[in-house]
Chain A
Amino acid sequence: MKNRTKLPNIYLGVILVLMYLPILLVIIYSFNQSKISSVWEGFSLKWYTELFRDASLLQALINSLVLAAASSLNAAVIGTLAAVGMLKVNLRSKGVIEYISTLPIMIPEIILGMVFLVFFSLIGLPFGMTTLIIAHTAFCIPYVYMLVKARLVGLDKSLGEAAKDLGAGELRVFLDITLPLILPAIVSGMLLAFAMSMDDVVISIFVTGVNTNTLPIKIYTQLKTGVTPKINALCTILFAVTVLMGLLSGWLGKINTQKKTVLEENR
């Protein structure tokens, strides 16, 4: 009997190990002395020091960070405002617009990429950071919009109504009541959008200019032509950042649920 209850846990463990295995190998080989990643020649940090001397890689990293920050911020503003407004306005077109706005995460990435490529060249927008930000904003908006909308729907309406009864205007209610309550959803939507933007290679390949490289594009071209352990070092740093962001968003989620239970208990 005891064995039967343990079997599912063993399965979960094995699959998790398999999930982490590729990442672990990348990390291990980033500390390898040897240039060839199939041979282990001892511990070394030399690839990290070489990484920080590679100006083009660092430039790509900066580009990626700027792009992800700009797109997730754009998405946070547009997505949050729209999620709040959509619940209040009475427009016949809102269902259609909502549907179209979520298409960027529904259709295959390659189609979105090519659609942007042909469109930007039609309207004559020069390819580079601007086109990257527009394209990334398009697929970042749905993440913020959907998370904030879900949070708003679950919100206790009586709080806002009470504030209104006490004489607060719409803006006041939004700033003092709604915004603090949906803030965790906005932030976790932004974090998700940031991560998706940092990770995107397919769409970026299509809309980037000749001189603007993002980190994923750089890694992609190296994976195709041959990698140096510098990429391992870079991936390890990125992984550390990811873990930190994941922990942060998990922590935010915890605060979120704590707030919710406090509110429910006080009712």
Chain B
Amino acid sequence: MKLDDTPVPLPWQRREKRFSHNGKFILTVLPLYIFTLAFVAGPLVYMFILSFLQRAEVWGVIGKFTLKNYTDILDPVYLKTFWESIKLAVLTTALTILIGYPFGYFMAKLSAKWKSRMMLFLMIPFWTSSLIRLYGWIIIFRANGPLDKALMFLHITDAPLKLLYTYAAVVVGMVYALVPFMIFSVYSSAEKLDWSLIEAARDLGANPMQAFLTVSLKLTLPGLLSGVVLTFIPSMGLFFIADILGGNKVVLVGNVIQEQLMKAHNWPFAAALAVVLTILTSVMIYLYRRLAKVKDLEGLV
């Protein structure tokens, strides 16, 4: 954080000036400082420490330093879980781009009236409890459910497909839950687009594809990238979608963490898993910032 560029006061003046300037307002930021330090920074630091501690025989933690929790992650079972989670996250993100990018892009081309209507249409399902929407997919995928009936009616299949509790169902659930983030990010970027640039490119002889690739795509890249971050990171942790739509067939890092915490009660190991997951997601955010050269995630709120 750079300090402002007011003339530099002499050392003995500086302290007093800073204090008197901050004096009145320090009270307004105090609640955030206290809350953040006590209930966000504190717990995160504790999780980090916990990941180096030993698990007690039956219950609890022993205050002895160990690296065992981290070496345990190298067990093929857990490495495979991480790999599966990353694979699913990549697949989910790719599909959200495929579906969400055109949506956000086309939406930015609508008239102002339709833009705000579209926004409302999007916000309503987005605000609806994710469990309600998940439940809707259970109804759809259920054997002899609406999807099976429609497919059999159209003679595409002649027996109920068992779609619930499959990998495909989990992918659909994830994409469905995360696609709004991609749409909002791409839209906020595409909305600022100067469409005359594309016309100029066309006038200069570019075909629509070339114009899109060289102008539109480049200018909406920040939105696309923030959409990738906003879908990739949550998809690493959305254990309940895998839980509900995948039965026990799809096991992600999130599911393992939950199991280690709530069932196996191996908290230090769960903490180590969480630290690794945090590092993975931080690397993502770091790469995103380097690539997009922006500070705040666009379209986050």
Contact = CB atoms under 8 A, between A and B. Distances in A.
A219 B290 CA distance: 41
Contacts of B66: none
B58 interface: no
Given A15-B103, A199-B129, A116 B136 contact: no
A122 B32 contact: no
Most A CB contacts (10 A, CB to CB) among B99, B135, B281 go to B135
Contacts of B257: 110-111, 114
A109 B234 contact: yes
Query: Looking at chain A, what size class is its interface with the partner chain?
Result: 35 or more
B217 interface: no
B48 to A, nearest CB: 10
A173 B270 CA distance: 50
A18 to B, nearest CB: 8
A151 B130 CA distance: 29
Contact of A101 (B32, B118, B134): B32
Main SS class of interface, B: helix
Interface string B67-87: 000000000000000000000
Given A16-B121, A97-B29, A115-B274, 19 more contacts: A11-B103, A15-B99, A16-B122, A23-B132, A37-B139, A85-B27, A85-B28, A89-B29, A93-B33, A104-B40, A106-B233, A108-B238, A108-B254, A110-B254, A111-B257, A138-B39, A138-B40, A220-B131, A224-B243
16 contacts: A9-B106, A11-B102, A23-B136, A85-B29, A106-B285, A108-B237, A137-B35, A138-B35, A141-B35, A189-B301, A202-B237, A216-B129, A223-B138, A235-B135, A246-B120, A250-B116
Interface of B: 1, 3-4, 18, 21-22, 24-29, 31-33, 35-37, 39-44, 46-47, 50, 99, 102-103, 106-107, 109-110, 116, 118-125, 127-140, 142-146, 176, 233-234, 236-240, 243-244, 254, 257-258, 261, 267, 270-271, 274, 277-278, 281, 285, 296, 300-301
